[in-house]
Amino acid sequence: MSGADHLLSRLERVKRTGSGRWMARCPAHDDKGPSLSVRELDDGRVLIHCFSGCHVESVLGIIGLEIGDLFPERLADQAKPERRPFPAADILRAVAFEALVVLAAVTAILAGELLSAVDRDRLSLASARLQAALDAGGIRHD
């Protein structure tokens, strides 16, 4: 079983988004839709990123894994961080969904509706996820 298979078997709502790429529900927060990106590199390393901002250690701890489980044994001691580990297509998919959330909120506000506390919280989460997507893409957003 590859490192990605080992990880993916412990996640919910896993969807393949490309060769060696998946999106799944993040176990570290109350994830309504998939916000956890998983990517397996050619050398067997597994990269994960939660677009809600959950730390890798938190995600792995909840499902009973450790950082070392993301690296093949031969690379565990020599792992170097990827400069831009997530393909633009994965980031754009996450951004597209969060943009729909923002659009729905703006449409309601322009129609004179007040947003409920739940809707305001979801809008805030969409904003955080959009910022995380910029970070994952290596884009400065100061």
pLDDT tens track for 24-56: 999 999 988 899 999 999 888 999 999 999 999
For residue 74, pLDDT beyond 60 = no
24 DSSP β-pair partners? 36
pTM for this prediction = 0.57
**H/E segment holding residue 129:** helix 117-136
In angstroms, the CA 63 to CA 54 distance is: 14
- Other CB atoms within a 10 A radius of the CB of residue 76 amount to 13
Q: Which two tokens stand for residue 71?
A: 């690296």
Q: How far apart are CA 127 and CA 133, in angstroms?
A: 10
Amino acid at 11: L
Rounded distance between C-alpha atoms, residue 88 and residue 133, angstroms: 10
pLDDT of residue 76: 45
**How far apart (Å, rounded) are the C-alpha atoms in residues 28 and 48?**
12
Alpha-carbon separation of residue 39 from 18, 21, 23, 61, 115 (angstroms): 9, 5, 9, 18, 36
Higher pLDDT, 88 or 29: 29
